[in-house]
Structure 1
């Protein structure tokens, strides 16, 4: 398998699709929000990128569940394994592409996870606590389990923090309830983009998405019956645009806070990828801004 990773706005999808065209490959998404139907502009699905020279490139794990549901790492591993096996069985090459480092690392290294049920008693006991109270509780549990998941920078709401505490509490209480998930050998290619160039691309893309209907997209999801808290749970675009729509933020406040949040998110992505290297995964970094043909040729040489 070939894996293409990088921070948001680095051009991963376009590169993966062009490479898949040349190698007769299929793409498996590694994006924790592109699994949701109708959440298109805000998650940057860029589905047009999957058509190269008039040919549709097959893709997997995009648009597989409804907004409002809680997709998780355990389900991703299961869905990845099914897609991966199907592609390999048909004699095609899988290309894993995305920016959700936890999802990528979980399948490359074969994380052993357990399906964690909801703990209603725990949830009720934590319901009145603030985020500042919940985060130290999570950090203490992580020290007990040795977990690298649920970074405090990613737990940006009480709802997310409570779910993370629920998972880590379960892992403390059920350390043996695991199942085998073999890792996958992969050539890993990272798109490296200089900080200022990355920030410029993020800002330009945010402006473009807002001009091309992102607010209307969020309104339509809310109008379909998905409650505001469920969309806020997904963070970034869906968090801030929802808060604008329901009147918590002005348009300018929404734009400013969202822009900052996406820049911070991209920085966290790079921190995670560097951590993957420290944890034993070798990433071949290439310049995200170099010509497409140069990037394709570098990857082909590495693959050979």
Structure 2
């Protein structure tokens, strides 16, 4: 069963979605709810700003223009179908809750009126049976109101659980979409998005954000000599050592092929240099042996290129500089780290 803070968070999300619809004068369609849900949970950005822009006078946007804006944001999501499905189901849950709450409000209003009439009748009643009849009617009406209230509470509980399940499913899909299937590290798409989100943070300015590009030396030889199964084993080993060598706040990703990348926020180049050298030494001291047979596959070494962020440059410039340093490391004989300031 969801905790109270989960309920509050889910209801706040629903509230925000409905407010967004009302503010932009949009109908409660699945597409719009899906988009505002995706924005509420941080999967898409800029939807509200884009709608505000097309709604600026003197050109007031019609529904078709707004729909185009919403759909263009939704279609950028790899989890588009899941968000659309979730938006529709959340719309249904929200509609049921609002419908039950409205019915409850009407019932409470009628109950208040009934109570007022009963009070007047009791003032005028001078017969015991008549008084008992009035009290029985009030008691029956009170029981009905309590039952309806219980029904609303149960509906809210069921809806909260349904929405929580949808959010859990979406989290799983988002996690799969962000991870590399072989190593379990983040993939290139996730890394680039995460890096772009780090750049505006003032704590990462003045050279306090470093990026390391890593390439496995002679990886093609492992694949050619021992097959792709051993190649995958090497990739997994590098990923495991990499994750065990960096800080919790650092982002590690497989950038493609045998190339890895790490973003280290809030650290200066000298400190990042020491971390990278420890990583390189750890890789070189790790034996490459097949489990079970202890067959030796040779020595594992890596080449690295590293640089620091210079505000206000773009993520692309930062990545290109680190990648260029990596190329120089490979040209210089491998198993070394090259810095590019």
Fold similarity call, TM over 0.5: no
Answer 1 or 2: higher relative contact order, Cα 8 Å, separation at least 6: 1
The structure whose Rg is larger is 2
Q: Larger % of helix: which?
A: 2
